[in-house]
Amino acid sequence: MTDRPTRLVVDCSLPEGHPDKVQIIPLTDAEIAEREASAAKYAIERAEREAAEAQKQANKESAKAKLEALGLTEAEILALLG
C-alpha cells in the first residue's frame, strides 16, 4: 500500500451494494500540489490573524496601563473599554 493521499468518490446514482458505488482514487500530482499550496496559504493567513489579535490585545493592555497612570479606577477603565 502507498502513502499517496486519496479521495473518496461516491456515485449516488448507483444502487447500494454496487461494486462501483464507492471508489478510492489516488490524488494526482497536481491535486497534491494544490492541496499543499492551500495548506500553506491557510497557515500564513492563520499566523496573520493570530498576530493581529495579539497586537490588538497588546494595544488594549497598553491603553489600560496609560489610563491607570492617569489615575482612572479599574471600574472607570472597564466602563471605557467595555
- pLDDT (0 to 100) of residue 82: 76
Ramachandran sector of residue 71 (left: φ over 0; alpha: ψ -120 to 50; beta: rest)? left
pLDDT digits over 24-71, tens only?
999 999 999 999 999 999 999 999 999 999 999 999 999 999 999 999
Give DSSP secondary structure letters for 24-46. EEEPPHHHHHHHHHHHHHHHHHH
When pLDDT is cut at 50, 70 and 90, the band that residue 80 belongs to is confident
Domain residue spans in the chain?
Answer: 6-81
pTM of the model: 0.65
